[in-house]
Amino acid sequence: MLIFLTSALMLCFFAVMLIVGFSCRKHAIDVDGFVLGGRDVGPWLTAFAFGTSYFSAVIFVGYAGQFGWNFGLSSTWIGLGNTFIGSLLAWEILGRRTRVMTHHLDTKTLPEFFEKRYQSKTLKIVASVIVFIFLIPYTASLYNGLSSLFNIVFSIPYWIVIAAMAALTAIYVIIGGYKATAVNDFIQGLIMLVGIVAVIVSVLANQGGLTEAVAKLSKESVEVASGTALNGAFASFLGPHPFDLLFVVLLTSLGTWGLPQMVGKFYSIKNEDSIKKGTVISTIFALIVAGGCYFIGGFGRLFGESAFIKKMPDGRILFDSIIPAMLREMPDFIIALAIVLVLSASMSTLSSLVLTSSSTLTLDVVAPTFKRGLSEKKKVRTMRAFVVFFVIISAVIAVIKDRYNITFIAQMMGVSWGALAGAFLAPFLYGLYFKHVTKASVAVCFCFASCMTVIQLLHSSGVISFNGEILGFIFKSSINSGVVSMVGGLILVPVVSLFTPKIQKETVDDIFEGLERTVTVQVKRKEQLVEHP
């Protein structure tokens, strides 16, 4: 019954994705249409595209399991941070200015924004290289957790699951471009909303209800630094490791402000009224999906005795197996819905990443090498080719990592988010608001984030080690070093800008013209006749 139900839902899901791709092909005939949907995408599609790009299967299967196990119910703070910092504040602070300035400068990618905002082709090239290097392993990480989840129902090789998901995503992105991606994101987002709510209800019902589940969790103990057992920490307000929790919240929430596939959603939204509506929609979506994922992950320890939770050779828990182990005790329909949910989350983020990567490489690296430039058709054709390239590369990396357990690939995936956010957050945010930011400060920020990433990779690989408390804490994990990269960039950019040459005032004034333009609106008033006695 479970196999039949899951197969039927998946076939319907795949059919809808393909139908949407073909129906949107007329919107993908030129660069603006293929990359930005003609800059005419409404609030619902944009908000759901933002949310589904944000919350992938990594969140549901990997992070919810890992952080739920480590922090207990306090991991819900991560979901709340994603909601109010990563979504609400991102839309409020970045939304309007990003749309207006990128439209005024006619930029289609984040590296192109850096070029025109800071008057530097070098910055564009460096930014493109950073995107190219770190989006690929990030894309490959989207397949994490799919294997253990699909093994609940199907006894098929992992590479077949990866190949099917990659091929389907590539088809509808190539045919329909951004518009197809946005429409499918909306459909996939609806599936995620329904799926998360259903999983929460089922897991709590399995444990006797919310009160009973919390009571059981409060009996779990954790050993603290002093060697004593701390009871009830996993059901407490801030959990057993509040400082580590804070760093996770910062990286996964503030980090979205500098990710090219996230801020790119503001390029394409229709108008300012759509931004206001999109802010509300995106925030509600994040509250349900992110809040729900981390909340349910907080009960992971109640399933600690499950035979389906796997362990690594050194005895540590394999976090990707926690959520699938929880789902095995659910009704068949919930399991089938959860599998489609994870497919939706993975494919929506995958489509956003490959579209971002292909457009960046085509428009910022390949096209400028031609003296006479490329025609619109050739640019679109090139981007479609790169979509295929990036999908294949990400799938191959995921298969190699799974089959040969290559540690370096896993570490690259782990640092990707921090590397991108650390390099781009400060230059992008300050570039939208302050006229006196210099290109030298942006270069320093790029360099700082890249160096932090290389050091983290070397440390994680065991090539180098740190004995000091400060450096040891910073490079203890890619989460810590990623947060330091972001915060360091936010400090470095304004400080370096004080001492380095400024961009010409006339040029900067022209860049900010769109934001400062006064709009005159004609108001019609009706005359009221007042009778005097």
CB 46 within 8 A of CB 261: no
Per-residue pLDDT, averaged over 344-358, amounts to 89
Look up residue 69 and give its two tokens. Answer: 């196990």
pLDDT single digits (tens) 14-40: 899 999 999 988 888 888 889 988 888
The domain over range 2-405 is classified in CATH as 1.10.287.130: no
Supply the angle between the helices 110-118 and 96-105 in degrees, to the nearest 10.
70
Q: Which of 431, 288, 349 is nearest to 146 (CA)?
A: 349
Query: What three-state secondary structure class fits 465?
Result: coil
Which residue ranges make up each domain of the chain? Answer: 2-405, 406-513
Measured CA to CA, the distance from residue 439 to residue 107 in angstroms comes to 17
Q: Is the pLDDT of residue 369 over 60?
A: yes
- Name every residue whose Cβ is closer than 8 Å to that of residue 504 and which is 6 or more positions away in sequence: none
pLDDT at 61: 81
Confidence band (pLDDT; 50, 70, 90) for 393? Answer: very high
Residue 501 three-state SS: coil
Going by C-alpha positions, the residue among 519, 517, 511 that lies closest to residue 434 is 511
**Among the ranges given (221-225, 253-257, 487-491, 506-510), the one the predictor scored with the smallest mean pLDDT:** 221-225
> Quick check: 104 and 513 in contact, CB under 8 A?
yes
Q: What confidence tens digit (pLDDT) does each residue in 169-210 have?
A: 999 999 999 999 999 999 999 999 999 999 999 999 988 999
Comparison of pLDDT for 315 and 289, the residue scoring more = 289
Sequence letter at residue 523: V
Single-letter amino acid, residue 520: T
52-103: per-residue pLDDT in tens?
A: 999 887 788 888 888 999 999 999 999 999 999 999 999 999 999 999 999 9
Distance CA 387, CA 175 (A): 11
Instruction: Give the residue-averaged pLDDT of 336-350.
Output: 87
Cβ pair 270, 40 in contact under 8 A: yes
pTM of the model: 0.90
Helix (H) or strand (E) holding 411: helix 407-433
Alpha carbon 34 to its chain's center: 21
| Residue 525: predicted pLDDT | 46
Q: Are 435 and 516 in contact (CB under 8 A)?
A: no
CA distance 16 to 23: 10
Is a pLDDT exceeding 80 seen at residue 433? Answer: yes
| Cβ-based neighbour number of residue 311 at 10 Å | 10
Match 């660069």 to its residue by tokens. Answer: 31
Percent pLDDT > 90 in the chain is: 52
- Pull the structure tokens for residue 136: 């690929």
Instruction: Tell me whether residue 228 is exposed, middle or buried, using C-beta atoms within 10 angstroms of its C-beta: 0 to 12, 13 to 18, 19 or more.
Output: exposed
Other CB atoms within a 10 A radius of the CB of residue 417 amount to 22
Predicted pLDDT of residue 374: 82
| Residue 530: per-residue pLDDT | 45
315 φψ region: left (φ > 0), alpha (ψ -120 to 50), beta (else)? left
Question: Does position 312 have pLDDT exceeding 80, yes or no?
Answer: no
Cα dist from 412 to 124, 262, 453, whole Å: 23, 20, 9
Using CA atoms, how far residue 154 sits from 148, 157, 184, 469, in Å, is 10, 9, 25, 47
Could you report the per-residue pLDDT of 108-134, keeping only the tens digit for each? Answer: 999 999 999 999 999 999 999 999 889
What torsion do the CA atoms of 17, 18, 19, 25 make, to the nearest 10 degrees?
Answer: 110
Render pLDDT for 274-299 as a digit per residue (tens, 0 to 9).
Answer: 999 999 999 999 999 999 999 999 99
Place of tokens 């004609």: 522
Going by pLDDT thresholds of 50, 70 and 90, the confidence category of residue 494 is very high
Angstrom CA distances, 448 to 130, 189, 327, 442, 488, stand at 12, 36, 42, 10, 8
CA distance 78 to 244: 11
Residue 225, pLDDT score: 59
Give the CB-side neighbour count of residue 221, counting CA atoms within 13 A.
7
Nearest to 142 by CA among 386, 341, 394: 394
